[in-house]
Structure 1
Amino acid sequence: MCRLQQACHNIARSPTYFARRAPQNNRRQAYGHRLTTAAGAPAGDLFRLMTGERRQALFDNTARAIKGARKETAERHIAHCAKADPAYGAGVRKACEVIGAL
């Protein structure tokens, strides 16, 4: 056994080492991949700190980035933005309409 293998073996046997393993019955549940109602809170908080000029830049950048996507995808993104802050969703929607992304 080489030194690296020995070190890994010792670490794994250490009482302070805990490998992150998901339960075998439902792996997805262990990582909390679903959005919660609070998931949009950090984005909304950041949006509310922005000045009007920064907000408009965000709307325009988002509209340009989403321009080639399917309408359903754009609508879902706008819904997520609105969940963070209603003005955020409305601004992205308006920018998408102006640029022709919707």
Structure 2
Amino acid sequence: MIHAENLTKDYGTVVAVKRLSFDVGKGEVVGFLGPNGAGKSTTLRMLAGFLGPTEGRVEIAGFDIQSASEQARAQIGYMPESSPLYPEMRVGEYLAFRAHLK
């Protein structure tokens, strides 16, 4: 389902993600753990197609996230950590609301 190969992201002289490769199969659940500045958010932004890698590539369900962005992004949902909270909504309602926006 998700194939990441040699993902690298540089910000000038700072390397945020260096040659990261992994595969996630359909139905698998994966978590990214690490300290602040480890590259977790940068990696997720590259996987979702919101940030292009300096090097490497990402495929979502066989679609390249850069050359077939629309098809790849149709296969996933991405909710960034800075999403606004609506106190009147329960968690399930909020997720359904976000899914509807997609």
Tell me the TM-score range normalised by the shorter chain: under 0.3
Normalising to structure 1: TM-score of the pair? Answer: 0.27
Rg comparison, structure with higher value: 1
Normalising to structure 2: TM-score of the pair? Answer: 0.27
Which structure features the higher share of strand residues? Answer: 2
